[in-house]
Structures are given as C-alpha cells and as structure tokens.
Amino acid sequence: MPLEAEPTHYSAALVLVSTGKVSSGRCLELRIKRQCPSFGMAAVSTVRKLKEIASIAVRGNESLRRNETSTTKRLNMSRKLLLGIGIALAVASIGASTSLAAEPTKSVDTTKAVSVFILMGQSNMVGMGKIAGGEGSLENAVKNKNKYTYLADDAGNWSEHKGVRNVRVMVGKGGDMQVFNNEWMTVKGTKTIGPEFGIGQVVGNAVDAPAMILKSCIGNRSLGWDLLPPGSESFEFEGKIYAGYKESPDSWPKGSEPKPIGWYAGKQYDDDVANAKKVLAELDKYYPGATKYEVAGFFFWQGEKDCGNAGHAARYEQNLVRFIKQLRKDFDAPNAKFVLATLGEATKGCEGNEGMVLNAQLAVDGASGKHPEFKGNVATVYTNPLSKGGSGNSHYGGNAETYMDVGEAMGQAMAGLLKNPK
C-alpha cells in the first residue's frame, strides 16, 4: 500500500534539511529513522531514492552557505523550506507495505504477550550466510552497498533491535537441547546468518507487542522422513513401502519385514517441537520480564533433502499440509500464520523431484485456491528471483544477501497475513 507520511515525517525531513544538520543522504536516512520510528522503507529502491533526493537537498544547502549574501540570507528560509517540502513529498510518494526502519532502542512493553515466531527447516534455515569478507558478505552489503542499514548504527557497528528477541536452539550430542542464541536481535557475535534477521526486522515492526524469533532446526533433514508430522501414514511408491510416523527405517521393499534403525520417521519433528516448547516453558529466561506469549506464526524453509528422494518428493504436498496443521495443533495456535520459502534454484515449470517439491510448496499458498482452508493464513515466497546464485545444497555460496532478501520477503509475507485476524 502507499506509504502515508505522518506530519512528524514531513517536519523531520524539513527540519533536518533546512538546518543543514545532515551531510549526506545516509545521514538523513538514519536521523529520520531515529526521530520517526514509524517511518518505513520496505525496499532497497526506497532507501536509494531517499538518499538521492537527500543528496540533492544537501548540495543545495552547501551551495547556499558558500554564496550567502544579505539577499540570499533573506531567501534562505524559503528555499530550504521548499527543499524540505520536496523531500517530504517525494518520500511520501514512495510505496511501502511494511516498515523496515526500526528504532533499535525502542522500549518493550512486557505486560503484553510476546508474539512468538517459530522457524523450522534444514541447513539454510539454520543459516549459512557469511558475515565477513568481500562480495556476498553481510559486511560488504551493509557498509559498501548501503543495504540492510537497519542492522548497523551511525558509527557502523552492529546495532541491537531491542524489541525482538533472537533465540536459536538445536538438538545437541546426546539428545539434549543446545542453546546457540539468546539475545536481542543483533549480528554482533554471529558467525553466519539465516533469514532470521530479515524476518525479525519486519515482523518486529508489524506487531504491536514484544516479538521473539525462535529457531529450532538442524541441517540435512527431510519432510518425508525426519520432519514427518504425527498422523502421517505409510504408503507405497515404486515397489517400496515408505515409513509412516514413528516407523523405521525410511523405506523397505514391499512384501519384506522392515528392520528398524536408530531413528524413526518424525524424530526431528518431535525434537524440534519439544525444544521450542522448552524455551516457551521458561519464557522469562529467554525474554526477560515477559510472563505470557502467543505463537503468532511459523516460518519454514526446507526441501533440499526431499528433492533427493523420489518417494518423498511425490508425497511432499500431502506431508506439508499435515505439517502446517499439526504445528498449529501442537502449539495450541489455530490462528497462527504460516510462511514458507521455495528453494532458490527451483524455477517455475521445472520437472523431476525438484519440480514436484516446488509445485507442492506453491500449492499450499492460500492464494492458489487449492487448499481453501489456507486462504489468508498460509503464504509461499517464490525465492528464485531473490537468489544470488548457487543452490540450496551449496548454501547459495554463503551469499548473505540471498539470506537477507529471502528473510525480508518472508517477513513481508507474514506481515501481510497478520492483518487477517483469522
């Protein structure tokens, strides 16, 4: 929807430019973000446009200062007013659906229920985007390309989003829960990133409540085996019987007796759900001061391992539908929204296992009409246009921009669904 600038937005741009307190477009952007937390910029193009306009205004102010005479002094205010108004009008005309700008130090009202967003999947949801380095690193994107500027402060240091809690857990050796992150959303101290930073920024601004990003997943897991949801039944495919929930092994020849192994269908689902529930059971430990929560949504980015198994790929849609419904049931969150992302290398019209997984992921989108019960509460993000190259199995070459762009898109999709209360 069009961005509607409030009077504070106009006055902020007006005052900053007219008083000459900004030296660059980047400076203006950061100053407005601090003074007007609700001021939103949902796309990189928006940020760039703001900076272009700001730079023109700043150059105009510099010219006025250099050539100031008694005559120009009298004209100074009117010219600066025009510049400020021009900026405000230009900014107000830029479209944005959900704010990406945030006040990193905004106060948190812990009397409200924490809006919890649970992230599940495999290695790319865990996160393999590199922080340091040249092209493809997060540092390069933020500091040299002026992308994802909300992640850094004025001095170029990684900022904290106090309002969004970042929690990541995983099954450790021996089966116990291992905690990797439990802090305010910040890149500082992080070795690699997944989509959580883009997601957290958007949903943190979309909800009028404290927010928690709760990631519970591990790499190399398939929906058709490791993450198979409870209630899933065994089935036959190309001469094999594929395991139903809690059966073992993954598959066996039709007519033969299965020989169980030390793993069962759905074991990872059980572990990831159990670990997320452990976090929520000790809410104050993971969100200081909070006493209550609601699971507002789920995010899912997965599919690589299922593409390597024809039986799992053929069953992907049925498993995904059950997965969505079962998560809502297990967390007692019937109205929780669900957003999933496709594999970046998968293109519409592709065939084989990859095509079956992609088509299944697109089919559960509520807008597709195939599953009417998902209308307005399930959305699929087609990530191929967002990927900077590589495949899911190669972790997109560790390109942080892929992870950030996918995360922002997933966050925007969730923000859109949250507008529908049911």
User: Which sequence spans correspond to the domains of the chain?
Assistant: 7-92, 114-230+266-418
pLDDT at 108: 79
- The larger pLDDT score, comparing residue 77 to residue 199, is at 199
- At 194-237, the pLDDT tens digits run 999 999 999 999 999 999 999 999 999 999 999 999 999 999 99
**Per-residue pLDDT tens over the stretch 305-333:** 999 999 999 999 999 999 999 999 999 99
Beta-strand runs (E) in 208-311: 211-216, 235-237, 240-242, 251-253, 293-301
Q: What is the pLDDT of residue 330?
A: 98
Residues 119, 63: contact at Cβ < 8 Å?
Answer: no
Confidence at residue 64, expressed as pLDDT on a 0 to 100 scale:
38
Closest CA to 274 of 213, 195, 324, 214: 214
Best-predicted range by mean pLDDT (37-46, 51-60, 326-335): 326-335
Residue predicted with more confidence, 26 or 157: 157
Q: What is the mean pLDDT of the chain?
A: 82
The predicted structure's pLDDT at residue 100: 52
Per-residue pLDDT reduced to its tens digit, 372-410: 999 999 999 999 999 998 888 889 889 999 999 999 999
Q: How far, in Å, CA of 14 to CA of 357, rounded?
A: 51
pLDDT of residue 85: 42
Q: Among residues of the chain, what percentage have pLDDT more than 90?
A: 69
Q: In the predicted model, is pLDDT for residue 83 greater than 70?
A: no
Per-residue pLDDT at 384: 95
Closest by CA to 202, choosing from 310, 102, 349, is 102
Q: Which of 1-5, 105-109, 273-277 has the highest mean pLDDT?
A: 273-277
pLDDT: is 109 or 247 the higher one? 247
Put simply, whether the predicted model's pTM sits higher than 0.75 gets the answer yes
Q: What is the DSSP string of 104-159?
A: TT----TTSPEEEEEEEESHHHH--EESSSSTTSHHHHHHTS--SGGGB-TTSPBP
Q: 55 pLDDT exceeds 90?
A: no
In this predicted structure, the answer to whether residue 96 has a pLDDT above a threshold of 80 is: no
Helix axes 44-66, 70-92, angle to 10 degrees: 180
CA 38 to chain centre: 19
Contacts for 94 with CB less than 8 Å, ≥ 6 apart: 3, 41, 46, 49, 50
Give the pLDDT band (50/70/90) at residue 34: very low
Q: Take residue 3 and report the two structure tokens written for it.
A: 């961005």
Given pLDDT bands bounded at 50, 70 and 90, which one contains residue 421? confident
**pLDDT at residue 392, rounded to an integer:** 86
33 versus 185: the higher-pLDDT residue is 185
Fill in the amino acid letter for 4.
E
Please name the residues in contact with 209: beta carbons below 8 A apart, sequence gap of 6 or more: 109, 112, 113, 114, 115
CATH superfamily for domain 114-230+266-418: SGNH hydrolase (3.40.50.1110)
Distances (CA, A) of 300 to 99, 122, 158, 195, 317: 22, 9, 26, 10, 14
The pLDDT value given to residue 193: 95
- Residues 121/217, Cβ–Cβ less than 8 Å: yes
Task: State how far Cα 33 lies from the chain centre.
Answer: 20
Query: Does residue 301 surpass a pLDDT of 50?
Result: yes
Report the pLDDT averaged over residues 46-58.
Answer: 46
Average pLDDT over residues 137-154: 95
**Count of CB atoms situated within 10 Å of the CB of 329:** 13
Closest by CA position to 415, among listed 104, 202, 209, 212: 202
**Among candidates 371, 364, 401, which has minimal Cα distance to 44?**
401
Mean of pLDDT values over 167-194: 93
pLDDT band at 13 (very low <50, low <70, confident <90, very high): very low
Residue 416: predicted pLDDT: 97
Residues 147-176: what's their mean pLDDT? 92
CA-based nearest residue to 410, from 301, 324, 273, 333: 301
Q: Is the pLDDT of residue 5 over 70?
A: no
